[in-house]
Amino acid sequence: MKKLSDELQKSYYILVFIFSFSCLGLLYIFASYMIKVSSADITTTNIFIDYELNEFTEKLEKNIPIDKLFKGALEECPKIDNVFVVFDYNGKIYSNSDIYPKELDLKEHDGIQNIGFYDYQALHRTIYVKGIEPIDLKIIKDLKGDKIIFFRSIGIAGVWIIFTLIIGIYISKKFYNMFIPPLRNIQEITNKINLDSLDADVKTENNFVEFISIIHSYKNMLSRLKKQTDAQIDFVNSASHELKTPITIIGGFIETIKLGHFKDRKQLEYFIDIIYRETQRLNHLINDLLQLSHIENSSKSQKNIHTISLPNTFNTIISLYKNIAIKKDIVINTNIENVSIVSYISEEWLRTVIGNLIDNAIKYSKPSTSVNVIASIKNLKLIISIEDFGCGIEKNELKKIFHRFYRVDKSRNNKIEGTGLGLSIVKNMILNMKGKIKVKSEINKGSTFVITLNILDIK
Ligand code: ADP
């Protein structure tokens, strides 16, 4: 496992290493430049002296004394800092400065030679001029001043590197120590917050924004979890309640029959009728619950491509509801586009969705009205609309009707059979098939449910 302090220290070491490396590089460039400039000074002086000595023969012919010639040449020499020019002629020394380094033991050499560890650079050669004795020439560049600057630079760089290293370690420690309390704080908070104490105040002073946002994300995650858990608990409670009611009724009537507490056969038949109805209700409820859990565990619609004939599918479903509709004197009008659709839509789910919506449309319609079922294709979208002229749904109830076990105005609905799961099943299936469902409704005028599903092609 990585440790924050180690990682911080590592990054500081890398920084110090880069810094030291560039310091050394700069010093190297500086030393090379120093040597180059010094050699250039000596070469320039040498070229100039060559030129002056070339004129010696001519000047000697004009009887100019040799002393004057040497002094003239030295005076004409370019004045460069720390460059000494020394002529040795017949044991007599002519120099541009009295403080030239006399103790230097210079051997004759073709090129520029280094003396000591960058103490001096020098050129030593003999020059032959017609008519006079050979001249011994020394051009010496004193590098001691530059060398001191160079070593001082190394010293300063070294001290600076050590200083930054110490500062780096200090900062990384300080930074690490700054992190520890907020991290402990996060630990404490996350240990303290649970699904029941989501509203607990989180102390955010002296904490880093990044850490606070972690705490908030954690709280958000928990509140999403809580919503899910609450919804699940609600679902289990509602399911248990809905299951318990028919079971209690069935149990009660069976006990009555068992104890012989009925007047005549007619009453017995009435009791058995109730038991049968409640068993049917129980059956519906269990089927709906199984269907819901099945949708949640499957992504069936997205796996396979199916070809579905719209007229066949709709006619099959509508034929199942015709009898119930006739009982209420309700006419089912259809306008189904005569095509087959190619899509990821599961035919079984499509039947369930349309069936549930037609069932509701009939259930909640006024007698002697009609239900309109339309299916059309537009821009590779299947649009299904199921319209009724029934009791309608209030605006503020519209969203809730898709919740599990939700039934608008339970007292009104007590007369109409239902589990409160039908629309929840419809919505879950539609969403699972990446479709949309919308509802428009006006109280006492009727409702229209519109479904939109993507298709791939039509045939
Ligand atoms: P139910 O089994 O009660 O019909 P649903 O989930 O299918 O359960 O519907 C939830 C509630 O929405 C219903 O109880 C009803 O109050 C309302 N509802 C659904 N469809 C219609 C409709 N076509 N007209 C009026 N109300 C409707």
Residue 272 scores a pLDDT above 50:
yes
More confident residue, 150 or 297: 150
Q: What is the pLDDT of residue 449?
A: 98
Residue with the bigger pLDDT between 21 and 338: it is 338
Is residue 419 in contact with ligand 1, taking CB distance under 6 Å? yes
Contacts 24+ apart (CB under 8 A), 143-152: 143/34, 143/38, 143/82, 143/118, 143/119, 144/119, 144/120, 145/82, 146/34, 146/38, 146/118, 147/117, 147/118, 147/119, 150/27, 150/30, 150/31, 150/34, 150/118
CA 110/CA 422 separation, integer angstroms: 108
The residue whose CA has the least distance to atom 16 of ligand 1 is: 408
What is the tens place of the pLDDT at every residue in 369-378? 999 999 999 9
Reported as a pLDDT band with limits 50, 70 and 90, residue 185 is confident
Confidence class of residue 302 from pLDDT cuts 50, 70 and 90?
Answer: low
Q: How far is the CA of 123 from the centre of ligand 1 (A)?
A: 111
Contact 153, 30 (CB under 8 A): yes
Tell me, rounded to whole angstroms, the distance of Cα 454 from its chain centroid.
31
Residue 352 CB–ligand 1 contact under 6 Å: no
CA dist 416 and 364 (Å) reads 8
pLDDT above 70: percentage of residues in the chain:
95
Q: DSSP label at 402?
A: G
Do residues 215 and 189 make contact, with C-beta atoms less than 8 angstroms apart?
Answer: yes
Higher-pLDDT residue of 193, 150: 150
Expressed in angstroms and rounded, the spacing between residue 389 Cα and the centre of ligand 1 is: 14
| Tens digits of residue pLDDT in 90-140 | 889 999 988 888 888 777 777 888 888 888 999 999 998 888 889 999 999
Q: pLDDT for 346-364, tens place per residue?
A: 999 999 999 999 999 999 9
How many residues does the structure list for the chain? 459
Is any atom of ligand 1 closer than 6 Å to the C-beta of 353? Answer: no
Query: pLDDT grade, residue 458 (50/70/90)?
Result: very high
Quote the ligand 1 centre to 50 CA distance (angstroms): 116
Q: What is the pTM of this model?
A: 0.61
Q: How confident is the model at residue 205 (pLDDT cuts 50, 70, 90)?
A: low
| Ligand 1 near 164 CB (within 6 A) | no
How close is the Cα of 423 to the center of ligand 1, in Å?
A: 7
pLDDT (tens digit per residue) in 14-35: 887 888 888 888 888 988 888 8
Confidence at residue 301, expressed as pLDDT on a 0 to 100 scale: 46
Q: What is the mean pLDDT of the chain?
A: 88
Confidence at residue 392, expressed as pLDDT on a 0 to 100 scale: 95
Q: Which of 164-173, 185-194, 306-315, 417-426 has the highest mean pLDDT?
A: 306-315
* pLDDT at res. 253: 94
CA distance 122 to 295: 96
Average pLDDT over residues 230-247: 88
- Please give the pLDDT value at position 398: 94
Residue type, 387: E
pLDDT at 318 over 50: yes
Distance 301 CA to ligand 1 centre (A): 25
pLDDT of residue 199: 65
